[in-house]
Amino acid sequence: MRSVRLGILILVAFAILAEGAVEPWSQATLEVGAAVLFLLWGFMCIQARRITIRRNWIYWPLLGLAGVALMQELLGLTIYPYATKVELLKGTAYLILCFLAVEAFPTAEKRQQFAWTLVALAFLVSLFGILQYFTFNGKLYWLRPLPLGATTPFGPYVNANHFAGFAELTMPMGIAMALSGSIQRDKLALISLCAVLPLAALVLCGSRGGLASFFLELALLGYLVGRRRGGKKLLLTAASLALAACLLLLWLGTGRMISRLSTLSPEGISNDRRVSLFKDTWNIFVNHPWTGTGLGTLQAAYPRYATFYDGLIVDHAHNDYLELLADTGIIGGLCGLGFLAILFWQARNNLRVAATPMARSFYIGASSACVGLLVHSLVDFNLHIPSNALLFLLLASLLALPAERSNRYCTDGPAIPARTMDSNTGRQEKPLVSEIGLEEECSAAAGDLTERKARAASRR
């Protein structure tokens, strides 16, 4: 699976650096890459003559949402079939990559590789964003002209709010690793630098929604870490990170940052305009309550319901939840609600049973990141930026994967294999131990092994 893991990480990095993968060429590259990795995974399974599929309940609401979009397309329920088809292709690519990530990063050790990749991306992209901010010449990467109407880029993102979404998804992982004690002491300085620099970039980008979401992430992260690891070490590490962040912000210039946050950027929208967007989007849902107007069709549907005209094209509602209702109706809304319920329930279970600091740090970082972006989605549309949507769904899929159930070992006993499928017969092979009575079976197996050892010793 090493090739699949590497391919997923490369696609994530590509999506981020390709301006969030918002353009057709980068979206097509992402979709083709997902298909190639899926074929590679299938070829590897055929070569091994064995297919291992790990159960993850988070797939069902995602498949349900894809089914709604497919139904809209086939039954003519969408007002703009092409837009729905484009969204369906993107959603399929996301789902494939989530499935592959669950299969390729099944253990805490493998997920740690994913976590370190996020930490490295957070540091490098934030460093690039800071450098570009202080040397900006009106072009992305100092070479590529900005799209029409874009005036507040940051890093590889055309809109600074979308860089904030990226920071919300990647920053908590490094902080969780530093505070939870899952890394060696000699790496603490490195992880602290990688965690602090994105905070400076987040402040510089001027996204107030991003900052509010990040402080909520910090509060949740501190609560989750404090429940498992209290004492002077935690306080000392947290104080060191806070001091390093303050020194970095002072060095970059607090005046510039305060000015950035106190003024509304030309690309921002006023509160009255935002309320108008929310009301108009809600009216679209009221007029199409069951199946919506079609996934990805808000731009086509909105002009008919607009109560405020300023000559600008409205492509998103600046609220991902309202847009989901307008696009897919009650059925899609129930899929979204099911996704959130499964995510939070499984995250709670995994946080409770995580046995090692390494596993705990991943679950804490992923939980905080998902909560932060979900809160930010109340006032923005980060879930419609492919790179951020992909990162969020990958974290959610790994967070919802039952903690190490397919890789646990009984004490002094045999390994418990995952549910597998025989490639010759096509039948599922049952695991040696049922998932329902996992702990009891482990104890029984260990007891039987001890008894057999005792009998063998007495015969000698």
Range name among 40-44, 109-113, 244-248, 377-381 with the lowest pLDDT average: 244-248
Residue 288 has pLDDT above 50, yes or no: yes
Q: How confident is the model at residue 223 (pLDDT cuts 50, 70, 90)?
A: confident
Q: How confident is the model at residue 357 (pLDDT cuts 50, 70, 90)?
A: confident
Which pLDDT value is given to residue 192?
A: 77
Which pLDDT value is given to residue 245?
A: 62
Q: Which of 426, 90, 50 is nearest to 41 (CA)?
A: 50
Q: What is the mean pLDDT of residues 184-205?
A: 81
What one-letter code names the amino acid at 356?
T
Q: What is the mean pLDDT of residues 438-446?
A: 43
Which pLDDT value is given to residue 90?
A: 96
| CA-to-CA separations, 353 to 106, 346, 442, in angstroms, rounded | 16, 11, 16
Q: How confident is the model at residue 149 (pLDDT cuts 50, 70, 90)?
A: low
Q: Which of 207, 176, 213 is nearest to 191 (CA)?
A: 176
Instruction: Please give the backbone phi and psi of residue 264, each rounded to the nearest 5 degrees, phi first.
Output: -85, 125
Q: Which residue has the higher pLDDT, 149 or 96?
A: 96
CA 132 centroid distance within chain = 25
Q: Which of 336, 332, 329 is nearest to 288 (CA)?
A: 329
Q: Indicate the average pLDDT of the chain.
A: 82
Range name among 174-183, 237-246, 398-407 with the lowest pLDDT average: 237-246
> What is the C-alpha to C-alpha distance for residues 437 and 131, in angstroms, rounded to an integer?
55
Q: How confident is the model at residue 408 (pLDDT cuts 50, 70, 90)?
A: very low
pLDDT tens readout for residues 114-133: 999 999 999 999 999 999 98
| Percent of all residues in the chain with a pLDDT value above 90, rounded to a whole number | 53
Residue 143 has pLDDT above 80, yes or no: yes
Question: What's the half-sphere exposure (Cβ side, CA atoms, 13 Å) at 158?
Answer: 17
Q: Which of 350, 325, 344 is nearest to 58 (CA)?
A: 344
Range name among 95-99, 179-183, 201-205, 441-445 with the lowest pLDDT average: 441-445
